[in-house]
Amino acid sequence: MTDSPLRIDDRGAIRVITIDRPAKLNALDSATLDALHVAADAAAADPQVRVLVLTGAGPKAFVAGADIAEMSGLSPAQGRDFALRGQRMMRRFERLPKPVIAMVNGFALGGGLELAMCCHLRIAADTARLGQPEINLGLIPGFGGTQRLLRLAGRAAALELCLAGAPIDAARALQLGIVNRVVPAAELEAETMKLATQLAGAAPLALRGILDCIQVGGEAGIEEGLEYEAAQFGLVFSTEDMREGTAAFLDKRKPVFHGR
């Protein structure tokens, strides 16, 4: 569809989802939130897709925030519904059983930072700027920003970013643990695809187990988390991929995993 807010490009086992609203700096309106949720469902159901990459169109922005023009006329009840809509979409990506990488190519502000943080890994261009500037609009983060910043960067950094509302550069985001890597802007796509290719060649069921242990087990207490990890560890012993991986190690060859 020519009017879709997304571009979807499959590169082998890697699916690249590009938010394609450059004139709006890829702002998240209701249609884009819904399209992203549909795209997440489709990727989860497609056995050919092993890794997802999320990025934004154009040279300026990953996602510059939620669509302020749409939000400005909302009632309190509509505002809550809009927040829940965004949270549901981002939770869907966060809980995908396949790795999701945010390729942060520019501004990741407000809903854009929230979208990046729901991804499992984040690679940022050295020119990227990240922040939660909602306070400057008389708003608060609504798509999970307070909660994921707290978990990624700690209480002090979460309070500073949300209360002061000033963006930070990619180097500072790396220091705070908000992004995993910072690379020169000209190398961003190549470095992101290199990581995505590495993950696409890994054992899919083991990837899923790791994601589950960290995303699900990590929300429980330590004893429950350890028990969950042990259960997942036992499950992978039932897979062909585990037999292939251990046999390849003993045979001193590269394993070939099929997700079985």
Catalytic-labelled residue, pool 70, 114, 160, 219: 114
Task: Provide the number of structural domains found in the chain.
Answer: 2
208 and 152 share one domain: no
Catalytic-labelled residue, pool 134, 189, 227, 244: 134
Q: Is 134 a catalytic residue?
A: yes
Q: What's the pLDDT score for residue 2?
A: 55
185 and 222 share one domain: no
CA 140 to chain centre: 21
Determine contact, residues 106/61, Cβ cutoff 8 Å.
Answer: yes
Q: Is 189 a catalytic residue?
A: no
CATH classification of the domain holding 142: 3.90.226.10
User: Tens-digit pLDDT profile for the chain (260 aa)?
Assistant: 458 899 999 999 999 999 999 999 999 999 999 999 999 999 999 999 999 999 999 989 999 998 888 888 899 999 999 999 999 999 999 999 999 999 999 999 999 999 999 999 999 999 999 999 999 999 999 999 999 999 999 999 999 999 999 999 999 999 999 999 999 999 999 999 999 999 999 999 999 999 999 988 878 889 998 998 999 999 899 999 999 888 989 988 888 898 88
Domain contains 258: no
Determine contact, residues 23/70, Cβ cutoff 8 Å.
Answer: no
CATH classification of the domain holding 209: 1.10.12
Determine contact, residues 216/91, Cβ cutoff 8 Å.
Answer: no
Domain contains 257: no
Determine contact, residues 131/165, Cβ cutoff 8 Å.
Answer: yes
Angstrom distance (rounded) from CA 180 to CA 213: 19
User: pTM score, two decimals?
Assistant: 0.93
Q: What are phi and psi of 150, to 5 degrees?
A: -60, -45
Percentage of residues of the chain with pLDDT beyond 70: 99
Buried b (16+ CB within 10 A) or exposed e, 199-217: bbbbbbbbbbbbbbbeeeb
For residue 156, how many other CB atoms are within 10 A of its CB? Answer: 10
Q: Domain range spanning residue 196?
A: 6-200
211 and 195 share one domain: no
95 and 61 share one domain: yes
Q: What's the pLDDT score for residue 258?
A: 86
92 and 78 share one domain: yes
Domain contains 259: no
